[in-house]
Amino acid sequence: MDSQNSVRAAIEPRAIDLSVVVPTYNEAENVPLLIDKLTVALAGVDWEVIFVDDDSRDGTAGIVRRLARTNPNVRVLQRIGRRGLSSATIEGALASSAPYIAVMDGDLQHDERLLPRMLEALRKDGTEIVVGSRFVPGGDVGEFAANRIKISKLGARLARLIVKQDLSDPMSGFFMLRRDVFERVVRRLSAKGFKILLDIFASAPAPLKTVELPFTFGSRIKGESKLDTMVAWEYAMLLLDKMLGSYVPVRFLMYLGVGTFGLGIHFVVLWFAYKSNGAPFAEAQSIATGIAMVFNYWLNNVITYRDQRLKGVRFIYGFFSFAIICSIGALSNIGVASYLFAENQTWWVAGIIGVLLGTVWNYAMTSVFTWRVKPVDTKVVSEE
Ligand code: GDD
Ligand code: MN
């Protein structure tokens, strides 16, 4: 009888109302505690938590999986060879089928006791999204360093460039929204960097009916923050992508930026070699070209393709493919520009068209042959 009951219980449909999506990277010590806290806070709610772990070296995914074997509220989505808070959150939300989706950090800095009130607010008056805010009365940044508060406020001001509604804390990583709202925006999300909430607001076709609830940002007891200097860069990319992304790929803009910088390097070296040290022009120009090429390759690897950065031997191979492709680009640049010039085109117009053509060629080819994503190379990324 008993076993029949448990079979029935197992096949009994369980309608989950709320999926809590938690992106994790090296949160092994925090995850069991968070599950306990959610269990207490969400008593009376049909909920589940989905941890989206980017193959943390500390075994976070394994720990969650072990707990999930005996706790049907717990799920895990392990991503291999990928990194990114925003994309992890999006994929977690896509793996859920609940009508309400919450997003919170896995390091206990977000107050889980706010979740029932978020849910309540979301069920009322056509509310589309509820944001846990540190900057409405009653909220607090906790032990945030003064300069981080400043940066956060600056970030919030810049957010006005891409979000046309008043939000006290657009950088918050703690919020809950309706599934239909998420599904409406999901295809438009940039998925870049850390700022998933901002991405959602910026991608919504119309302002979202929003409720802001105050909470106090807790301090991190275990593990460490993954926010580093790259976050500011990724934030700039998110803003750019939202402003210009539908016209030009942001990666191409980065590539152009690096190229322009490289041009500067070229002329500095040329000046030193030719003007200052009296080397023959052709020799000076060759040295400058070589140095600019190495520099461009290195900077593109660090910045433009930071998510696919080549390391070790692959860095060397990558350089050769980059150099070969760019040489072909230079030849076609010269060829086309000379042809246009011979056809009586103004010299500078011919020059610009040649450069543009060469640049587009270089960008397109290196994106395929130099920085291609190969699933078998996942180790390189996850060992960061
Ligand atoms: N899957 C995955 N992949 N999770 C990640 C990654 C990643 O690449 N990077 C960070 N996480 C997880 C962490 O494990 C943690 O659960 C959560 O995302 C937040 O990361 P923290 O490193 O703790 O961020 P923070 O506390 O410095 O910043 C938080 O507060 C900011 C408010 O200023 C985040 O919520 C930010 O989004 C928020 O803007
Ligand atoms: Mn944190």
Distance CA 181, CA 166 (A): 18
User: Predicted confidence band at 203 (pLDDT cuts at 50, 70, 90)?
Assistant: very high
Q: Could you state, in order of their start, the residue ranges of all structural domains in the chain?
A: 2-244, 250-369
User: Closest ligand 1 atom to the C-alpha of 173?
Assistant: 35
CA of 44 to the centre of ligand 2 (A): 27
The pLDDT tens digits of the residues spanning 258-270 come to 999 999 999 999 9
Contact 167, 130 (CB under 8 A): no
Check pLDDT > 80 for residue 26: yes
CA of 227 to the centre of ligand 2 (A): 8
Distance CA 116, CA 220 (A): 23
Please give the pLDDT value at position 14.
75
**Count of C-beta atoms within a 10 Å radius of residue 277:** 9
pLDDT of residue 382: 39
104 close to 173: Cβ distance less than 8 angstroms: yes
Which CATH superfamily, name and number, covers 2-244? Spore Coat Polysaccharide Biosynthesis Protein SpsA; Chain A (3.90.550.10)
Q: What is the pLDDT of residues 67-90, one digit of tens each?
A: 999 999 999 999 998 888 999 999
pLDDT at 384 over 80: no
Task: Write down the pLDDT at residue 256.
Answer: 92
Give the pLDDT band of residue 1 (cuts 50, 70, 90): very low
* C-alpha closest to that of 272 among 298, 292, 253, 258: 292
Give the mutation target among 20, 21, 22, 24 for probing the ligand 1 site: most ligand atoms within 8 A of CB: 24
Each residue of 223-247: pLDDT tens digit?
A: 888 877 778 888 888 898 888 877 8
pLDDT of residue 363 exceeding 90, the answer is yes
Residue type, 307: D
Instruction: Count helices and strands (H / E) in the chain.
Output: 14, 7
- Give the distance between the most distant pair of CA atoms in the chain: 96
Task: Please say if the pLDDT value at position 3 is more than 90.
Answer: no
For 384, the token pair is: 């960061």
Q: How many residues does the chain have?
A: 384
| pLDDT value, residue 9 | 58
Residue 10 has pLDDT above 70, yes or no: no
Classify strands 175-178 and 74-78 as parallel, antiparallel or unpaired: unpaired
Q: Kindly state the average pLDDT of the residues 370-375.
A: 71
pLDDT of 19 higher than 60: yes
Q: Tell me: pLDDT of 52 over 50.
A: yes
**Band of residue 383 on the pLDDT scale cut at 50, 70, 90:** very low
Could you give the CA distance from residue 140 to residue 145 in angstroms, rounded to a whole number?
Answer: 12
In whole angstroms, give the CA distance from residue 191 to residue 178.
Answer: 19
Pocket around ligand 1 at a 6 A CB cut-off? 23-25, 27, 52-54, 83-85, 88, 105-107, 109, 152, 171, 173, 194, 225-227
Distance 204 CA to ligand 1 centre (A): 23
- The yes-or-no verdict on residue 307 having pLDDT over 80 is no
pLDDT in tens, 137-193: 999 888 777 888 888 888 888 999 999 899 999 999 999 999 999 999 999 998 888
Ligand nearest the Cα atom of residue 85: 1
Burial 144-165 (b: 16+ CB within 10 A, else e): eeeeeeebbeebbebbeebbee
Residue 178 burial (C-beta neighbours within 10 Å; 0-12, 13-18, 19+): buried
Measured distance CA(315)–CA(12) in Å, rounded: 54
Dihedral sign from CA coordinates of 182, 22, 103, 162: negative
Percent of the chain with pLDDT over 90: 66
pTM for this structure?
0.80
Query: What is the average per-residue pLDDT within 117-133?
Result: 96
The count of other CB atoms within 10 Å of the CB of residue 175 is 25
Instruction: Give distance in angstroms: CA of 106 to centre of ligand 1.
Output: 8
